[in-house]
Amino acid sequence: MDLNRFNSRQRQAITHVGSPLLVLAGAGSGKTSVITHKIAWLIQEIGISARHITAVTFTNKASREMRERINHIAPKDQIRGLTISTFHSFGLNLLRRESYEAGLKSGFSILDTEDSKTILSDLLRRESIEDRDIVSGVQQTISTWKNHGLSPDQTQSHTKDPKFVLAANTYIEYERYLKACNAVDFDDLILKPVKLFRSNPTILAKWKTKIRYLLVDEYQDTNGIQYELVKLLTQISGALTVVGDDDQSIYAWRGAQPENLKELSNDFTTLKVIKLEQNYRSTRIILETANTLISNNPHIFEKVLWSDKGFGELIQILPTSTDEDEAERVASMILERKLNYKKQFSDFAVLYRSNKQARILEFKLQHFKIPYKLSGGTSFFARSEIRDLMAYLRLLINPDDDNALLRIINVPRRRIGPTTLEVLGGYAQERHKSLYSCIPEMGLTTRLDPEATRRLSQFYDLVEGAKHNLVLGRGIQAIDGLLDDINYRNWLSDQSASESMADHRWGNVTQLLEALRKDLKGNPNEMLNEDETNSDDSVIEIAIRKLVLGDILEQEEEEDHSDRVQLSTLHAAKGLEFPDVFLVGAEEELLPHKNSIETDSIEEERRLMYVGVTRAKQNLTITYARKRKQFGELLETTPSRFLDELPEEYLHWQGKTEQDPEVVRKKGQDSLAALHTLIKGESA
């Protein structure tokens, strides 16, 4: 393998074997290229079969990128059997293969965050607790315990604090519920494999034989239980490479422990550390500014990024009068730079700390017809009301869909509790049938009290009635009737923070029904291709499948390369790069965030600022508003403390040496008008 295009440290990282390796990879240092070439090196030069190599990361996007890279490096026959996945996909695959040993039956359901919250809400309601904040707090506490590998029994003596006692008691009932339903939640996808490995040395040995080399990307984002999984698989063999950067650890709020980098040295005594400090992305000014900023944080490992891409442009610090002026100036500068420097809209990114900052930015970009894409938005099909309706539809066309049944059996609330579901689940397991198909069986009714039987029967009759209407070809009428029968609109009102929110959510439901109606209107076969018309699937089945496909395509579209300005939170921008970056809202209580100030977690906020700075390749503009609208009124703000930590010699403060913000604002408005006129003239 030719490694001449790599620098000396990159080559060391690619070729090092024989002991565990930590690659401390700074922003823009080519870590993805290093990790993919190392996989190829292990296969081609070391002779490890691809089926014995596993690489894990945290996002599907990162996993896809890694796989695409390796496909261009090594022939297909060499990489056949290679595992590249997220941590949770890896855990899911393991549990599917070892379901019996893990205490699960095949076909177990996976509950997402919303599903888990619904279950916890029902459990806490028995304690007369309906406060959403308490439910969210209990959910977060249980998730934290699972990420630290704690079982319900271990949390019972965890603390005497009433809120933790409540969480611990709820944890017991929650796990009982999951077992009854043959279900796992998101955290279980890592916790259960770890528990299985701890308790079953034979299974662990089997997987250590399968995984002869493990690579972990974004290692600074691992939590306690993920690190435990890594140790169990590799601690003895040492066949491990991890890639990480403690300066880019920005996910403490979801359990990430950057100190896991330090623990590596303790747990793997022969650990080799290689630092990748050459940056291939940014100018010298941007990098030295980032280095100066992050030097205010304590470090596990010291490193200093450098670049040979030239000195570059000074970083612009732009104060504005208000947040509206801020958005207008950003729009103006994007248009100006696009025209003056022949740039594409896709060269620009606007980054912010909080999603709520996007609203005014969107308004201004729309007003001046600047195309943009928004990262981090909720997919239409990810909304809870749409998931509810889709679960009903899935159950109508496939009564054996246990996951769909578990989603909606208590939506709206039917008081079908965990005891009933435990009996139903056990009976279905004995009969090797789906949950739904067992409800009318006489054998089940003998195990339940009359009230539980009645509630299950009511649910069954409801679904059967809707199924009957579908068979008669009354698709939309069947669904409309079902929603009326369960009084779903009132349920949304009860579950929403306000009536306007309830109306919005009901609007999403009607939007989905309208999409179905369009497909089913007139001659239903018009929407079918030749294969579909010859299939045994019902028209409504095909319509539903098309809707799901539409959502998948919509999500794919979010990752396209069309010519649009990128709007993104700082968290979502990690791993991305742009020639021109605007970092907006550099104000106290925004960046750093108010919550971080109150909890004294400024270091993570500084790392977040560092991530934002290092997204820029050529130009970086940092803005702040002297007044920002909050709760309907303009309130005074204070510039972020991080601005004072930046090297003054690399900054150009607009308004300090030139004009005051009001003059600059007026100039920007005039510029916008002129540029907009010019663009209209060019497109005419």
Question: Is 15 known to be catalytic?
Answer: no
Query: Reduced to 3 states, what is the DSSP secondary structure of residue 577?
Result: coil
Cα end-to-end distance, the chain, whole Å: 53
Residues facing residue 274 across a β-bridge: 23
- DSSP codes of every residue in 352-390: ESSGGGHHHHHHHHHHTT--EEETTPPPGGGSHHHHHHH
Tokens at 436, concatenated:
């739904």
Q: Taking the CA of residue 681 as centre, how many other CA atoms within 13 Å lie in the half-sphere pointing to its CB?
A: 7
CA distance 99 to 545: 28
CA distance 518 to 509: 14
53 sits in which H/E element: strand 53-57
CA distance 409 to 220: 40
Tokens at 131, concatenated:
């406060």
Tokens at 215, concatenated:
């690579």
CA distance 209 to 236: 12
Residue 374: phi and psi, rounded to 5, are -110, 120
Nearest to 70 by CA among 29, 32, 115: 32
Question: Is 248 known to be catalytic?
Answer: yes
Distances (CA, A) of 258 to 63, 222, 483, 591, 603: 21, 7, 47, 21, 12
- DSSP codes of every residue in 149-211: T--HHHHTTS---HHHHHHHHHHHHHHHHHHHTTEEETTHHHHHHHHHHHH-HHHHHHHHHH-
Q: Which amino acid is at 440?
A: P
Question: Please, are residues 240 and 21 in contact by the beta-carbon 8 Å criterion?
Answer: yes
CA 267 distance to own-chain centroid: 29
Tokens at 641, concatenated:
């403390």
Place of tokens 């929110």: 501
CB atoms within 10 A of CB 406: 24
SS3 per-residue string spanning 275-320: EECECCCCCHHHHHHHHHHHCCCCCCCCCCCECCCCCCCCEEEEEE
Distances (CA, A) of 670 to 100, 134, 622, 653, 676: 70, 51, 21, 21, 10
Which one of 234, 248, 278, 618 is the catalytic residue? 248
Question: Is 31 known to be catalytic?
Answer: yes
Tokens at 329, concatenated:
């100036």
Which one of 11, 12, 15, 32 is the catalytic residue? 32
Which one of 98, 217, 402, 604 is the catalytic residue? 217
CA distance 443 to 446: 6
Which one of 615, 617, 641, 665 is the catalytic residue? 615
Q: Which amino acid is at 283?
A: T
Which one of 218, 247, 328, 388 is the catalytic residue? 218
Query: Reduced to 3 states, what is the DSSP secondary structure of residue 29?
Result: coil
Which one of 31, 38, 192, 281 is the catalytic residue? 31
CA distance 237 to 285: 43
Question: Is 217 known to be catalytic?
Answer: yes
CA distance 114 to 53: 34
Q: Which amino acid is at 500?
A: S
**Which residues are designated catalytic?**
31-32, 217-218, 248, 615
